[in-house]
Copies of this chain bind each other. A is one copy, B any other.
Amino acid sequence: MRHLLDFSGWDRAEVEALFATARAMKEVLSRPIKQVPALKGRTVATVFFEPSTRTRISFELAAKRLGADVVSFSAQSSSLKKGESLKDTVLTLAAYGVDAFVVRADAAGVPHQVSRWVEAAVINAGDGWRAHPTQALLDAFTLNEALEELQGKKIAIVGDILHSRVARSNAELLGILGAEVWLAGPPPLLPRRGGFFGARVTANLEQALAGADAVMVLRIQKERIPGGLLASEADYRAGYQITEERLSLSKPGAPILHPGPMNRDVELEGTLADGPRSLVLAQVENGQAVRMAVLYHLLLGRAA
B35 touches A51 (CB 8 A): no
A92 touches B42 (CB 8 A): no
A31 to B97, CA, bound (A): 10
> Is A264 interfacial (CB 8 A cutoff)?
yes
Known: A60-B71, A92-B284. A40 touches B51 (CB 8 A): no
A65 touches B69 (CB 8 A): yes
In this complex, which of A31, A40, A58, A96 has the most chain B Cβ atoms within 10 angstroms of its Cβ? Answer: A96
Known: A79-B53, A92-B284, A97-B34. A264 touches B85 (CB 8 A): yes
- Find the B residue at minimum CB distance from A82: B261
> Is A262 interfacial (CB 8 A cutoff)?
yes
A41 touches B33 (CB 8 A): yes
**Which chain B residues lie closer than 8 Å to A91 at the CB level?**
281, 284
State how many residues of chain A have any CB contact under 8 Å with chain B: 53
A65-99: CB near B (< 8 Å → 1, else 0) gives: 10001010110111100111100110111011100
A84 to B65, CA, bound (A): 26
> Is A260 interfacial (CB 8 A cutoff)?
yes
Known: A82-B223, A89-B54. A284 touches B41 (CB 8 A): no
Known: A33-B40, A43-B34, A77-B53. A96 touches B261 (CB 8 A): no
> Is A230 interfacial (CB 8 A cutoff)?
no
A53 touches B32 (CB 8 A): no
A92 touches B288 (CB 8 A): no
**Which chain B residues lie closer than 8 Å to A77 at the CB level?**
51, 53, 74, 76
A31 to B92, CA, bound (A): 19
12 residue pairs bridging A and B, Cβ less than 8 Å apart: A32-B41, A34-B42, A35-B41, A41-B65, A51-B78, A54-B84, A54-B89, A54-B93, A58-B96, A61-B69, A84-B262, A97-B288
